[in-house]
Amino acid sequence: MSAEPPTFAPVPLPVCDGVPEDRESAAAGVAAWIGSAPMRALVAEFGGRFPEGPTAEALAALDAFSAEHWDFRDGRERAEARRHAFEPATAALIVDAARALGLLSARPPRHRDYTQVLILGGMVRACLVRTRFAADLLAGAVTTGRITAVGGFRVLTPGERELAAELGMPQPRFEVDALAEGVRRAFGATAHYEVEEGGDPGTEPNRAWRVTTYHLPDTTPAHVVAAPSSEPDSRRANTADTCRYWADEVVKLGPRDRVLVVTSTTYLPFQHADAIATIGLPYGCAVDTVGIDLAAHPDERHRQRHDPDRCLQEIRSAIWSMRRLYETASA
């Protein structure tokens, strides 16, 4: 066990600029991220030996290692993951490594102008703070031609419904309901002018879909999208599903697009990798991802602690997504 955790330098995430070299740069970015000092220190801390050799083999080994040591969900939703406490030195090392790997620190957008702003859904808290964060960015130095919030018909947990009631939300049933409320609050959307939908979210939430378009005061269109799952018999829609559905069915994404993805810092590495793999490389567009840090949110109801077990869980998610990104970039 480490006596005193080191301070790691920040590790860059893979880059996707909408240029022909994106596949090579994305693959190199993945290799650098997984082979970084904080990742090696984490593996050593949990009794492992870092897998040297080709990147694809190292990713497979890290995926298996993280499944054994860092998976607290056991196939359940994040809110249902079991908790685990660590000795202080180990806990400090985990948090320090997570920050260096890009999970805990907010970073500014790389550009000023984006053709698309894509806000990723999540739990009730995330649906409100991410839409507000996006609105604040667009009220400052960022411009865009279109805003979309994407999620699915995931049924909210009892705890989420309690929080929604505390926050004065009108009894949302699904994640997409919370996203719609976030868009209304953050952007001043007062009425929608078009709703397209299919399927029954009450009986088959994994197959149902909906696209709602809102009027905004500055005439920028804002969509709230519930995407279907690509594997509806076994799971709900994930980040890759929502990104792909948005790209194909809502905005017709193309090589001239520059997309700003908005999430929370804890999930930034894995969702950034997913965005590059599912929209950046396939559509030839530029992808940038930013996240809001909820640890210091002024409203304590929205705060989210950087607990070590949660950090490890999302590092595992990032490894899984980096593996998929590497496979896509190398295809």
Same domain, 125 and 234: yes
Q: What are phi and psi of 327, to 5 degrees?
A: -60, -40
DSSP state of 218: T
Nearest residue to 179 (alpha-carbon basis) of 108, 118, 236: 118
Residue 121's SS3 state is coil
Q: Could you tell me how far CA 173 lies from the centroid of its own chain?
A: 21
Three-state helix/strand/coil letters over 132-185: HHHHHHHHCCCEECCEEEEECCCECCHHHHHHHHHCCCCCCCEHHHHHHHHHHH
pLDDT at 78: 64
Same domain, 89 and 130: no
Residue 327's SS3 state is helix
pLDDT (tens digit, 0 to 9) for every residue of the chain, 331 residues total? Answer: 444 555 899 999 999 999 999 999 999 999 999 999 999 999 999 999 999 999 999 999 999 999 999 987 666 666 666 677 889 999 999 999 999 999 988 888 999 999 999 999 988 989 999 999 999 999 998 999 999 999 999 999 898 999 999 999 888 899 999 999 999 999 988 766 788 999 999 999 999 999 999 888 776 889 999 999 999 999 989 888 999 999 999 999 999 999 999 999 999 999 999 999 999 999 999 999 999 987 776 776 666 778 899 999 999 999 999 999 999 999 8
| Angstrom distance (rounded) from CA 135 to CA 149 | 12
pLDDT at 3: 46
Same domain, 161 and 274: yes
pLDDT at 300: 67
Domain housing 145: 113-304
Helix (H) or strand (E) holding 198: strand 192-198
List, in order, residues 6 or more apart from 248 with CB less than 8 Å away. Answer: none
List, in order, residues 6 or more apart from 159 with CB less than 8 Å away. Answer: 79
Same domain, 216 and 269: yes
Same domain, 43 and 172: no
Same domain, 283 and 166: yes
Same domain, 122 and 229: yes
Helix (H) and strand (E) counts for the chain?
Answer: 11, 10
Same domain, 126 and 206: yes
The residue type at 301: R
Helix (H) or strand (E) holding 120: strand 116-120
Number of separate domains in the chain: 2
pLDDT at 2: 47
List, in order, residues 6 or more apart from 179 with CB less than 8 Å away. Answer: 119, 121, 127, 131, 149, 150, 151, 224
Same domain, 271 and 319: no
Alpha helices in 262-307 (DSSP H): 268-275, 281-283
Same domain, 209 and 225: yes
pLDDT at 14: 97
Same domain, 232 and 300: yes
Same domain, 73 and 178: no
Rounded to the nearest 10°, the torsion over CA 291, 294, 296, 302 is: 140
